[in-house]
Amino acid sequence: MSHKIQTLSGYIHEYQKSVLQPEVFWGRVAESFHWEKRWDKTLEWNFEEPDIKWFVNGKLNITENILDRHLFIMGDKPAIIWEPNEPGDEAVTLTYRELYEKTNEFANAMKAKGVGKGDRVIIYMPMVPEAAIAMLACARIGAVHSIVFAGFSSSSLADRVNDCEAKMILTSDGNFRGAKKIPVKAVVDEALESCTTVESVIVFQRTGTEVTMKEGRDYWWHDVIKGQSKECKAEIMDSEDMLFILYTSGSTGKPKGVVHTVGGYMVYTYYSFVNVFQYSIGDVYWCTADVGWITGHSYIVYGPLLAGATTLMFEGVPTYPDAGRFWQIVEKHKVNQFYTAPTAIRALQAYGLEPIEPYDLSSLKVIGSVGEPINEEAWHWYHDHIGKGNCPLVDTWWQTETGGIMVSALAGVIPNKPAHASLPLPGIQPIIVDAEGNELKGNNVEGNLCIKFPWPSMLRTTYGDHERCRQTYFSTYKGLYFTGDGAKRDHDGYLRILGRVDDVINVSGHRMGTAEVENAINEHPKVIESAVVGYPHDVKGQGIYAFAICDMEGRSEENLIAEIKKTVANIIGPIARPDKVQIVPGLPKTRSGKIMRRILRKVAAGEADQLGDTSTLLNPEVVESIIESAKNAK
């Protein structure tokens, strides 16, 4: 099956078709999959509720389209190549047949522990092939997986377990990350002290770290698969049954569970994967994300495997044992498509060209970027030194909620332009609106980015709280999906994403809600009130800057700052640790009592000379002392 667009005129033609007759367009893509029963209607939707259904009454199992379908001619072809943390350790290749067998075996093991269709299963695992097997095994039996990035703390994990009332957790004894060994099972044990729904925990042995196994609850992965059949009948799912929940941060304090469903997600991740990366059978494709984020879901596991691709999974980090590790892997496995994040590029850029020089990167055909706006300097470095000036660089804009890439060049088909995500994929109808929601037509316009028509992999709800989904995405502008991002359409009609316009900070490509970090800071007994903003950071894109009003009795400022940072790392996880904390006597408030973040953002960015009008504040006098104490921020 091929839906690969190969020319610019082909793109324009497909795009027009997709807008004029979306149902016909997506119906054709969907027809190339195996369905147990064909859908009755391609699309039913309204953005008011919202209520979105693709491939209505279609029945299928996504794993049949990943595994069974590829057995016949692709059975011996590599599905997953796994590169371990230590360069000296042997890489592992799983063929489609092996992946099929291991998925079924583990699916049977999960069933034997009482997990079935609709049950929620939390995956809290390192980057090992078993993480992908775990996802596919859930999908095989109709269980709903929810992956929690293994860097999140026990309380973040517990919140997610409780929110989705998970029945099972899949984890490991420990994780290797560079020179570190992280005791993952211990985090799960701690989380489970405040969870009641989990009946069993399956532990994959990776690091040999000593763990406590609770009788009747905890089992080793290698024990539960013993004697299980390598065949497992795929559960027949409705197109709109849940495939997974993935928690993501928003502008309120509590992460929300974004829900994706089977049929539409399958069709769109496949379609966007082959088109954006221009994947051809036999290519080795590598996305450096973690499976704990949406990029790992859609473009390490589902999209590539649906396309019969060879997808590389890497356990480690870019700078271990040295800053040449990525390039060594590209050479070793002859990687053809390489997809990473601007923060990784900037971090490696800081090491100069020396770490790249020993390696042959000539296998690369396409390079990609995701997660945050890529600045021009990083873009050129990546394009010139990694792509050697002759690989198309796809800057892919999308979100956990969109399920798949929405705006991007198609490699080599749509011309590149530095720092511009460029054009929408077929089927995607983005518009730019002003504050009142009026569409800004034509070129050279800037405003808020919305999508006006449904696409197959869009979120359907936020788990257990549909109203929140409506409020967050569908109520700001009537009849539109609001992305939370600002965007500009330039004189050529290319889109440039300008970053979040809500209270979300993008730290190293990871979304952090300011309210979530504030809630964590406020847990410190000495903190009276806090406010968190993002500020420009050389490597992370944005850093987290916290202002806190504290009771200073019995504490030095320095100790308190260190304690506040530690509190956040403990409550949410190390990724949310503030880069800077400033103790302040007060926070600038409007007369209605709202914190004026605009002022705090300027102070954090070192632009206190550009504060603008502060006369409408309730407490303008506090601004001077905030500016004054900014030098003590650490």
Residues that bind ligand WTA (CB under 6 A): 248, 293-295, 369-373, 395-400, 421, 483-485, 497, 499-500, 506, 511
Please tell me the distance from the alpha carbon of residue 385 to that of residue 360, in angstroms, as a whole number: 12
- C-beta separation of 284 from 308 below 8 A: no
For residues 237 and 391, which CB has a smaller minimum distance to ligand WTA in the complex?
A: 391
* Angle 555-559-563 from CA coordinates, rounded to 5°: 105
Q: Which is nearer to ligand WTA, 316 or 484 (CB)?
A: 484
If the CB atoms of residues 140 and 260 are measured against ligand WTA, the closer one turns out to be 260
Q: How far is the CB of 405 from ligand WTA (least distance, A)?
A: 8
> CA 517, 348, 411 angle in degrees (round to 5)?
95
Q: Which is nearer to ligand WTA, 348 or 407 (CB)?
A: 407
CA gap 478, 46 in Å, rounded = 11
Query: Quick one: how many helices (H) and strands (E) in the chain?
Result: 20, 30
Q: Which one-letter DSSP state was computed for residue 297? A: I
Instruction: Indicate the residue among 370 and 425 with the shorter CB distance to ligand WTA.
Output: 370
**Residue 155 or 400: which CB sits closer to ligand WTA?**
400
Indicate the burial class of 467 (C-beta count within 10 angstroms; 0-12, 13-18, 19 or more): exposed
Residue closest to ligand WTA, measured at CB: 400
Instruction: State which amino acid sits at residue 331.
Output: E
Rounded least distance, CB 246 to ligand WTA, Å: 9
What is the smallest separation between the CB atom of 398 and ligand WTA, expressed in angstroms? 5
Q: Which residue matches tokens 């024990």?
A: 223
Q: Contact 346/352 with Cβ under 8 angstroms?
A: no
Cβ atoms of 156 and 118 within 8 Å: the answer is no
Of 200 and 369, which has the nearer Cβ to ligand WTA? 369
Residue owning tokens 């589902």: 302
Q: Is 528 helix (H, G, I), strand (E, B) or coil?
A: strand
DSSP class of residue 523 equals T
Q: What's the CA gap between 546 and 568, in Å, rounded?
A: 11
Closest CB to ligand WTA among residues 413, 623: 413
Distance CA 155, CA 619 (A): 36
Cβ proximity to ligand WTA: between 110 and 131 the closer is 131
Q: For ligand WTA, give the closer residue by CB, 66 or 421.
A: 421
Report, in Å, the least distance between residue 456 CB and ligand WTA.
Answer: 17
The radius of gyration of the chain from alpha carbons, rounded to an integer in Å, stands at 24
Query: Residue 517 is inside which H or E element, if any?
Result: helix 514-522
Minimal distance, residue 294 CB to ligand WTA, in Å: 5
Q: How far is the CB of 54 from ligand WTA (least distance, A)?
A: 20
CB of residue 503 to ligand WTA, shortest distance in Å: 12
Secondary structure string (H, E, C) spanning 34-64: CCCECCCEEEEEECCCCEEEEEECCEECHHH
* Least spacing, CB of residue 486 vs ligand WTA, in Å: 9
Q: How far is the CB of 273 from ligand WTA (least distance, A)?
A: 13
The distance of closest approach from Cβ of residue 269 to ligand WTA in the complex, given in angstroms and rounded to an integer, is 12
CA 503 to chain centre: 18
Structure tokens at 274: 């082959």
